[in-house]
Chain A
């Protein structure tokens, strides 16, 4: 039997509830957008049947290319540039993917007021620092060089 001693803390419950709702909505979004993609309801920036084809002058199909070369071949922007293509069937899927990847930032933001109220200064700093790390990763500022 669960008693008060073994119960999860308030911030843990808030985090869990938001994570639960966000995860299921993200998963549903992912499946719906994928159905739109493969059904061809919306035109794709990179037609799905092209992925397995080998372009002239290359000895590997598109999906066997490095990400950098693939992006160049189809003139795909990096960072948040995909949002400009979100009306296309393939890049519509990125909405659900970005939602799932961004969920943790929202969960951290949700517990900050609780940590503040409880005067949990150390955990408050850790939570703010974590948000900063995740926002930095999500920002697209960080570039990968060398291929």
Chain B
């Protein structure tokens, strides 16, 4: 007997095929070398690019929500790999895309007490200071070096996404001295079990050290760092999964702010790239949230992993000048 796939899965599948075709078309049009039949980027009317960017980022916004990743982590390797824009401008836009998403989600998460200011503030101070350093390093490096490092990072993220476990309610026997002194703890209502959950954290010094690395990477590559924040908050420091995800999202609004200023001050921001991308990702995220209720997250997660794998390899090969 034939089994019928849910309509939402078919929509996502069709969207993915359309997205791949669009990316293929963009990469052909963006090529400035030997494109005898399709016109090079400079011959395409300027308005085509923001329009294509809007459509691509709209689809990215949907996939990001369904795949449980931030928009920035998909945006930088895909737009950097397949559009004709310099990686400096793509990273600047990537930070602002991640920042806009975090700013939009932040108020709701804070009000529902899922994002915790007590947890976020100390971590954000470390990560945002490190992100400034990361942004300065990133803008000083040669583009091919950035692409190689970006490709390697994206492939590392793929491994984390494919293998990392998550823990809904990690066991924290005792808060460490820093957590105790700062009072990093809270209570939230866990609707899935109908109970109030008390939480605290441990291993704060190790967590703060890792946030230095996360901040540098976020600033250097223009990536939102949710992929790294969540495992550190949840698996290392022992915050419940919901608190970790929500605090991580809110945290990006602070970490990415500091790095975004560096890009802005260095003139690495082009409104023609930034605005359609922010609007596209935000609209896509809104649609994604609606599809999420019906879609099969596991299948989509693997699709996003596949997409990241492809984009990571593209960045790596572009940096190594194997696939220009």
Tell me whether chain A's interface is mostly helix, strand or loop, or mixed. helix
B49 at the interface (CB under 8 A from A): yes
CB proximity to B under 8 Å, residues A59-118: 59-61, 63-68, 70-71, 76, 78-80, 82, 90, 93-94, 97-98, 100-105, 111
Specify which of A7, A102, A134 is in contact with B113 (CB 8 Å cutoff). Answer: A7
Asked if A133 is an interface residue, CB under 8 A from chain B, the answer is yes
**Is B106's CB under 8 angstroms from A48's CB?**
no
Judge whether A97 and B41 touch: CB under 8 Å.
Answer: no
| CB pair B267 A71 closer than 8 Å | yes
Among B49, B125, B188, B263, point to the contact of A126 (Cβ < 8 A).
B125
Stretch at the interface among B68-76, B128-136, B311-319: B128-136
B266 lies within 8 A of A2 (CB): no
Question: What is the bound-complex CA distance between A102 and B143, given in angstroms?
Answer: 28
B272 to chain A, nearest CB (A): 6
Q: How many chain A residues touch the partner (CB < 8 A)?
A: 77
Determine the chain B residues whose CB is within 8 A of the CB of A6 once the complex forms: 113, 187-189, 196
**Complex Cα distance A93/B125, Å?**
28
- Residues 83-129 of B at the A interface (beta carbon under 8 Å): 84-86, 88-89, 92, 96, 99-100, 103-104, 106-108, 110-113, 116-118, 121-122, 124-125, 128-129
Closest-CB distance, A98 to chain B (whole angstroms): 7
Given A49-B46, A61-B42, A147-B140, A142–B265 Cβ distance below 8 Å? Answer: yes
Q: Is the CB of A138 within 8 A of B143?
A: no
CB distance from A142 to the nearest CB of B (A): 6
Q: A51 to B50, alpha carbons, bound, how many Å?
A: 12
| B interface size (C-beta, 8 A) | 71
Which A residues lie within 8 Å of B96 (CB)? Answer: 97, 100-101
Is there an interface contact between A104 and B132, defined as CB atoms closer than 8 Å?
Answer: no
A67 near B88 (CB under 8 angstroms)?
yes
- Inter-chain CA distance A95–B129, complex, in Å, is 24
State the CA gap A78–B268 with chains docked (Å). 9
Set of chain A residues within 8 Å of B306, measured between Cβ atoms: none
Residues of B within 8 A of A111 (CB): 117
Q: Contacts of B189 on A, CB cut-off 8 Å?
A: 1-3, 6
- From A15, A76, A105, A130, give the contact of B125 (CB < 8 A): A130
A57 within 8 A of B: no
Asked whether B262 lies within 8 Å of A94 as measured between CB atoms, the reply is: no
The distance from the CB of A50 to the nearest CB of chain B, in whole angstroms, is 8
What is the chain A residue whose CB lies nearest that of B188?
A6
B159 part of interface (Cβ distance < 8 Å)? no
| Contact assessment for A31 and B275 in the assembled complex, using a CB-CB cutoff below 8 Å | yes
The answer on a CB contact under 8 Å between A126 and B122 is yes
Interfacial chain A residues near B122, Cβ < 8 Å: 126
> Within the complex, what minimum Cβ distance (angstroms) separates B64 from chain A?
18
Q: Could you list 8 A-B pairs, sorted by A, with CB under 8 Å?
A: A52-B42, A67-B268, A94-B264, A127-B121, A130-B121, A130-B125, A133-B258, A144-B262
Which residues of A does B touch, CB under 8 Å? 1-3, 5-9, 11-13, 15-17, 19-20, 22-23, 26-27, 30-31, 33-34, 37-38, 48-49, 51-54, 59-61, 63-68, 70-71, 76, 78-80, 82, 90, 93-94, 97-98, 100-105, 111, 122-123, 126-127, 129-130, 133-134, 136-138, 140, 142, 144-147
Not counting A52-B42, A137-B262, a sample of 20 additional A-B residue pairs whose C-beta atoms are within 8 angstroms of each other reads A3-B196, A5-B187, A8-B111, A12-B111, A19-B253, A20-B107, A30-B275, A31-B275, A48-B46, A51-B272, A52-B49, A53-B42, A70-B86, A82-B267, A94-B264, A97-B269, A98-B264, A100-B96, A133-B129, A134-B254
